[in-house]
Amino acid sequence: MIVRRRWTAAATTAILVSAVLSHPGPGSAAPAAPANPITLAATETALVRVQLRDQAQLDRLVATGADLANRPRARDGRILADLVLSGTQLADLTAQGATAVQIVQRAGDGSRHFAESVRAAQTRTRAGLRAPASGQRTTAAAAAVDTLQVQQAYWWTTSGQTFLQAQLATTATDDPDVEITVSWRTADGATGSFPLSRFEDSGEYQYHYALPQPVPSRPVQLTATSSLGGVSRAVTPSLWPNAAPPALPAGYQKDFIDAYLTPVDIQARIKRLARQYRDLVDVIDLPNQTQGYRRNAAAYLGDPAVAAVVVESVRFGDQGMNGVQVRTVDPGRRNRPLTVSYRDRVLTVTLATDTAGKTVSTTDEVAAAINARQPNRFRATVEDGSAGLPMPVAGPARLDDGLQGTEVPARPWTVQALRLGVHRDGSRVGVLAYSQEHAREWATPLVTLEFAERMLANARTDPATRELLEQVDVFVIPTVNPDGANYSFNDFNFQRKNLVNHCVGPARDPKNRTSWGVDINRNYTVGSYFDGYVGASANCLSGSYAGTAELSEAESRNVVALAESHPNIKFAMNVHSYGGYFMWPPGAYRADGRITLPRPSIDESTLFLNSARRIVGAIAQERGTVTWPSQTGPVADVLYSAAGNSADQLYYELGIFAWDFEVGNDRWNATTGEWEGVGFQPPFDEAHGEAQEYAGGLVEMVRVARDYAAAQAATG
């Protein structure tokens, strides 16, 4: 039996999934059911790592707009995908042959972890290998012998465990059944092997690879063979990343993050830093106010299980519309017309009657009448499934915006940036660090604020830090998307997008409230959905909804405005979570032929990679976390196509060397022999660790910018 390990990609306008594992060959056994299967309550929502049955199952998830947290991964012939699922959805997947292998995070965990982090902050004091698959085809049965090329062979050690990662390509690119097996040898003579999985993207073969494999010690030789008889040359795996930052001096100050921070908390910290470090800080109010933590008030008029109309206020709920009532009444008389009136904060729909005095208005007629006669106050849509049904006498129902955050100001929000440096006049090379484009990524502003505080606190005591702030102009936007973040903290912790609801018609039904909004990192102009690139959606309920037009959202316009108004910015880092990636442009491609945005020049590609090694090395200094070489590179190559993302905007439009972090690297579980995800809102101890290590990476990016500026000055 041939066990096929094939990794392909599917492009879709709803959600882009750039890696898919094909189904096993005929006769392959389904995965064994776990002794204690993972389940969720029907209405519970969680982030779940799922072993999917086959490519067709993932394709169906893609087509229906599943919320995929990151790129699916291949391991030992399996496809593992992280999905935000309800209990009903997980049960459906399980019935179709999928197996849940890890609950990464439950919907309630975010609030619990936030509360735990706050309690901890109040009391905390700051102290200074598998064997190759059987059944491979022999060379005698093969039509031709292929050639293998080693693209990556790296090793590193984390927490006492050494790992090896390999990536190879075969010249038999059109044969989906080619299998490649890697063999390794250590200095003391230990040997072993593991299989690779085929990776295709947008229908095109890219390479074969595997997740990092544990090995007993430093590997000194790696070779590979294919099922067609191809043999690679022997190579010596290289140490990754083989770069380390300068040693921190005695008394270096760090660990400024005590708890998860809401946008209100972040606003207060920005104010405090500006007051505490007047000589080193400016606060920049970005020009485009966001909608704020506000929504239109809405109610069901009638019973959605029988027949109902959704009535929604034109103004936001906090603008005097929360608590407004809506009702339908029977006039109690014959031959009466359908009428609509609004008085004393009550919208009354008097239903039409026939000659016998029976009400005869339909749901469609009621919705049309409200829209025609009260267009400045209300909009109405027929609830999905209620079209054409008799409208019942119902109500009064109270309109409400549904928002739970009682401590969040209900007003347009001014997004703020910190500007750090001795010379904040544009005369020094600029670096931009920005975070929380995606609301649910709670650890990301902890990274940028920890970085800012390190730079400021140590500028007074550490000559090296002072020198950096003499030579570099630093900009920090801790939360790009404060409205979505407020919603994530107070209402639905898996919220990804902002709060602007561009949906029309039935999609505005309150049952969809956790799916409204625009994906800010799909709303930029370069390589956008509107230009035919993949990785974003026109579906307003999709997690990757691109908006109504390029830069339709205040949040994306703010990032562009800051960069455009400060042309000295030459380096930028967009901080996301989770999964452990380090990426740069191009970040998008067109599906036909997988045509990416233009590739950087050789010199720029070298700068991207060499800088990545330095920054990854700095991250690893904190607790040994290593971003895998297979997850270091252009976005379109190591993650997926992300049409209209901000890094492409900054690089192609403004000439900025723009990178992306995905903090929250998978953690190795030595007991299970599995890499396990940490999620968007891990327990605070993990989020704290992520803040510490990736803040060190941002400090190294400042050194990269300093060295770049010095080299540019030296060459004229």
The residues carrying an active-site annotation are 662
- Residue reference for tokens 């690779």: 196
Of residues 81, 62, 79, 63, the one with CA closest to residue 71: 81
Helix (H) and strand (E) counts in the chain = 14, 35
**Contact call for residues 46 and 107 (beta carbons, < 8 A):** yes
**Type and span of the H or E element at 662:** strand 657-665
Helix/strand/coil (H, E, C) string of 491-540? CCCCCCCCCCCCCCHHHHCHHHHHHCCCCHHHCCCCCCHHHCCCCCECCC
Location of structure tokens 């009354």? 348
Q: What is the DSSP letter of 229?
A: S
Interior/surface letters 403-422, b for 16+ CB within 10 angstroms, e for the rest = beeeebebeebebbbbbbbb
DSSP result, 606-644: HHHHHHHHHHHHHHHHHH-----GGGEEEHHHHT---TT
- Widest distance between CA atoms in the chain: 98
Separation CA 413–CA 410 (nearest Å) = 9
Which amino acid is residue 161, in one-letter code? Q
Give the count of beta carbons closer than 10 Å to the beta carbon of residue 103: 18
Look at the block and give the residue holding tokens 């001096």: 249
Total residues belonging to the chain: 716
Pairwise CA distance, residues 177 & 2, whole Å: 8
The torsion region of residue 13 among left (phi > 0), alpha (psi -120 to 50) and beta comes to: alpha
Residue 60: which residues within 8 A CB-CB, separation 6 or more? none
Return the number of other C-beta atoms located less than 10 Å from residue 1's C-beta: 12
Instruction: Measure the CA dihedral 194/47/528/632, to 10°.
Output: -30
- The CB-based long-range contact list for 464-469 (8 Å cut-off, 24+ gap) reads 464/246, 464/249, 466/422, 468/699, 468/702, 468/703, 468/706, 469/280, 469/420, 469/421, 469/422
Q: Torsions phi, psi of 153, nearest 5?
A: -150, 100
Question: Which two tokens mark 17?
Answer: 């999934």
Contact 293, 486 (CB under 8 A): yes
Q: Yes or no: say if 85 and 48 are a contact pair by the CB < 8 Å rule.
A: yes
Spatial separation of the C-alpha atoms in residues 292 and 425, rounded to whole Å: 31
Query: How far is residue 139's CA from residue 294's CA, in Å, rounded to a whole number?
Result: 66
E strands, 159-290, are: 161-170, 180-186, 191-195, 197-201, 204-209, 213-215, 219-226, 238-239, 281-285
| C-beta atoms surrounding 175 within 10 Å | 17
Token pair listed for 343:
């008085």
Return the closest-CA partner of residue 566 out of 447, 417, 701, 438.
417
- Residue identified by tokens 């442009």 is 585
